[in-house]
A and B are shown apart, each in its own frame.
Chain A
Amino acid sequence: MATRKKRQKYIRQVSPADLVKLAEDELRRGQVEEAIRNLTLAEKELKPRVRPDGKKITIPPHLAAAQTSLAPLMARALAAHALASLAPEQRLADFEEAARYAPDDTRYLLALGACRLLMGEAEAAYSHFQKADDAHPGDALVTRAFALGLLATGRAKEAGELIGQTLRERSDGAWRRLAAIHGLTNGGGANAQGDRLLSGLSHLAAGEAERAREQLDALPMPDHNPSRAEAARMATQLFYSGAIGFNARRYQAAAGDWREAQRLAQEHKLDLPWLDRLIAYYHKIAELTIQEDPALAVECWREALKTAPDDKAALANLVAVKRSQGLHAWNAGDIRLAAQIWLEALQNSPQDEQLLRCVAIACEKQNHKTEAVTHWRALARVWRRQVKSRASEAGFKDRLLRLEQHLVTLMLETGHDDQEIISELEAALKFDPENQKLRLQAAERLMEAGKSKQALKHLDEAEKQHGLSVELLIRRGIAVDMLGRHAEARKTFERAMHLDPASAQARRFFLLFLGQEVARASERGDAQRAMKLCEEQLALDPNFDQPMIRLASLYLKLGRKAEAKKMVERFLGADPDSPQKRVEAGDVYLDHGMKKEAETLFKKAIELDPSADCFTAIGISYLEANDLKKAINHFDLAAKTASVEMLIAIAMALTEEQRTRDAERFLNIAIERDPDHPMPHLLKGLFATFNPILLLLDPKRLNEAIKELAEAERLMTGKAEYEGILSEVRAARRFLEQGPSALLGSDNPFLFDDDDDDDDEPFFPDFPPSSVRKKKKRGRK
């Protein structure tokens, strides 16, 4: 808006004379619309003005020239606009306007007449030609137009006299053509005098199709880009060649000729009367060849649609044949081809439910799930709109519901955005508002997207419709808990337990909620409350081991060692052969400085499971207890048999404790173990960037980091699982390649904030969670 105002203001400052000059330049460059716009603006400024006393205001002399040249220039611009238009009505309107601007210029009268003739309005055309002839008698072009008008309106005698008289004075190609047309008017043969098009068409008019074909085929095709006039003749010739071919049942050749004729007409914006006849021909060929040559039939219907995009018969037949061809490919086991054919048909008929279904199924069968989602969604949209009109159709609603469920599952599988899934579910709920399953699913998705308030609205609605249920209360408990209304959440879970005391689900979720409460109390430093909650958990489920180890940790924190040990024994006693539990309990002891107890448990764990997993977990416990030596010892033991993933986990744990040099050692082992794994290279490259100052001081280190990132990039290329991070790895590498100075810039992506926000995450690949991470999340405080 502001730009438009500025532009208008600017234009007001430009003199009308300059606008006219500008328009002239634009017209020369073919910028017709711009020229017309500027001339219209100039015209407003240049139009004769009258004072209040009725006297005319004289135009200043410097603008007089512009005023004089404006009208012819506008007429030229309008004529150019007319020629660029394919719509006959628009063309006619432009020429009429041009003739108004330049009433003395016969060319526009001739153009108007020609236009009328092409629209089949012979009398109107004749009237324009006559007017031109009255204004400029004797002008060669005007006389010719007048003769054409006479021929078109059936004034054969007058036409014959005029043509004969002119030909006696001068033998000219255009007049000879008129004479030939006059010959056809009389029902006799036309004297084409060397014009093969006329000669061919004269033979055709006389019923001599073979001779007509010979003449038309012998017409040379120009090897240059044809002018508009040449194109008009060529297109007409091709149309008739096609018509002769059609009559001789050479359908393929006929369709080829017409396609070329149509192309020429379209390219040169020619509006010739035979173009309207093509549709009937195309349909006829398609109908005649559908069985023997379905490809030709399809091509013909396509061409018909190009000429008339709303041709319903062509569209329906085209889609039906394509559907059938797709089915044929499907039955032959060529799913890829079937999908391709159906997809083509879908472009012609994008709302066709059967095609949408076929394409979606074929996509899914090829494991192109994202593409399948697109088509299933389109089908769901079509069906949802039909819910009322198809209400009585057996199974329709069931089918739609099944589709909605499948769609949501597929969207989840393909990692669609939560909001998109929610929209899909909410759209489904509009047509089936009482569907409890969909409503609960919508509430769950909303909660996952962090929109607990919206989730609650769905849960309220579900309660209104179906009353209370354990399922509903559980979800409500989670939602209100997410909103920070913990007391209300507790009451809700308690209600669920009360509603069905035997419900294992209600119990499980209540236990999980209490676990969250323990974590919250621990974070607040309220050990007493945390202990109470753990005890409550144990009262609900005496075999639940999570509160046992938490309680042990809390007892140790309060110095109640004997109780802690008792609780650890209870924790271990429930599962005497579990090495994990021993590591976990050892970790608790280590956390509270009880090294001996921890070591005993770790030893026992190793006895039970001397695996890399076990060594790593113990190593991490020591690492967190700042016993680097023992941590490294255990990591070394793990490294003997550890997988690449485990080695990466060790390296990441060490890096978190600022031990990047040690981490690199484990990454090198990982590279040795699997040289084609990109992650160790990526991490090596990234770890090196943790200290930009070091990189600045040591260019060799910078080069190594670049090399590692480049290698990771190479190994990731073409692998679907790394698609998501490949571009970021590339960006990181390119950034480092800018050299040491870039590392000091404010846009350095390696200079992380301390607050661990999400913006930093892309450079840390989301690696499979290991025992390393689990342990940290346990919230032992």
Chain B
Amino acid sequence: MNLALIEDPYKTLGVKRGATEAEIKQAYFALVRKHPPEHDPEGFKRIRAAYEKLRAGDERAETDLFLIDEQAGTFNLTELQRFNAEPPPITPEMIRADLIALEAALLLEEALAAR
């Protein structure tokens, strides 16, 4: 395993992390048609290398294990989990209730301090 050299083969082939073998194959052949070895040898080499990493079970297991997953790591605002309540508006009743609670806290202190 060479951690330093891992390029995301999913990204290269333009498929999702959980893509099926058929999807990977389909994406690979589509890219090969776009970048045939005789016209774009470098491009083809990259595509081929990415395909090799995802083709066989063992290779794909290794890739999946050691690849830092960009798709899953990107924070998406739509996935933000919202709290089920909004902050309550400040009302005179709320203030009054808080002040009564504060007085209760002070009373508790005084009562026990008088021991």
Point out residues on A near B: beta carbons under 8 Å: 76, 79, 83, 107, 110-111, 113-115, 117-118, 125, 141, 144-145, 148, 151-152, 174, 177-178, 180-181, 184-185, 187, 198, 201, 204-206, 227-229, 232-233, 236, 239-240, 243, 246-247, 270-274, 277, 279-281, 283-284, 287, 290-291, 304, 311-314, 316-317, 320-321, 323-324, 326-327, 330-331, 354, 357-358, 361, 364-365, 394-395, 398-399, 401-403, 406
Contacts and interface: CB of A to CB of B under 8 A. Distances in A.
A111 B112 contact: yes
Interface string B68-82: 111011110101111
Interface stretch (B34-42, B45-53, B103-111): B103-111
Interface in B59-97: 60-62, 64-66, 68-70, 72-75, 77, 79-88, 90-92, 95-97
Contact of A177 (B79, B85, B103): B103
A314 B82 CA distance: 8
Contact of A115 (B58, B62, B108): B108
Nearest to B81: A313
A633 to B, nearest CB: 51
Contacts of B95: 184, 201, 204-205, 240
B104 A117 contact: yes
A393 to B, nearest CB: 8
Nearest to A283: B83
Contacts of B114: 107, 141
Contacts of A114: 104-105, 107-108, 111
A406 B65 contact: yes
Contacts of A247: 90
Contacts of A311: 83
Contact of B61 (A277, A279, A312, A402): A402
Among all A-B residue pairs, the 3 with the closest Cβ atoms: A283-B83, A324-B75, A327-B73
21 contacts: A79-B112, A79-B115, A113-B104, A115-B104, A118-B108, A125-B104, A141-B107, A181-B103, A236-B98, A272-B98, A272-B105, A273-B97, A273-B101, A284-B86, A314-B83, A323-B75, A324-B73, A395-B57, A395-B61, A398-B58, A402-B65
Size bin of chain B's contact surface: 35 or more
Given A323-B73, A402-B58, A280 B83 contact: yes
Interface of chain A, main secondary structure: helix
A107 B112 contact: yes
A395 B81 contact: no
Given A273-B101, A284-B87, A324-B75, A364 B3 contact: yes
B92 A187 contact: yes
A365 B4 contact: yes
Given A76-B115, A232-B106, A270-B105, A205 B58 contact: no
B1 A110 contact: no
Contacts of B72: 323, 354
A187 B104 CA distance: 21
Contacts of B77: 290-291
A395 B62 CA distance: 10
Contacts of B84: 313
B97 to A, nearest CB: 7
A317 B82 CA distance: 9
Nearest to B97: A273
B66 A181 contact: no
Given A324-B74, A398-B57, A284 B106 contact: no
A342 to B, nearest CB: 9
Nearest to A206: B92
A392 B85 CA distance: 38
B83 A320 contact: no
A201 B99 contact: yes
Contacts of B20: 394
Nearest to B60: A395
Contact of B1 (A144, A177, A233, A406): A406
Contacts of B58: 398, 402
B59 to A, nearest CB: 10
B71 to A, nearest CB: 10
Given A107-B114, A272-B98, A398 B3 contact: no
B30 interface: no
B104 A401 contact: no
Nearest to B108: A114
Nearest to B70: A327
Nearest to A278: B87
Contacts of B82: 283, 287, 313
Contacts of B105: 114, 118, 228-229, 232, 270-272
Given A141-B114, A317-B81, 20 more contacts: A83-B112, A114-B105, A117-B104, A118-B105, A144-B107, A152-B104, A181-B99, A201-B98, A204-B95, A228-B109, A229-B109, A272-B98, A280-B83, A283-B82, A290-B80, A361-B68, A395-B64, A398-B60, A399-B61, A402-B62
Contact of B65 (A178, A232, A320, A403): A403
Contacts of B79: 320
A80 B75 CA distance: 48
A291 B80 CA distance: 11
A321 B75 CA distance: 6
Interface string B12-49: 00000010110000000000000000000000000000
B66 A361 contact: yes
Contacts of A204: 90, 95
B75 A178 contact: no
A354 B96 contact: no
B100 A246 contact: no
B61 A111 contact: no
Given A313-B81, A406-B1, A327 B107 contact: no
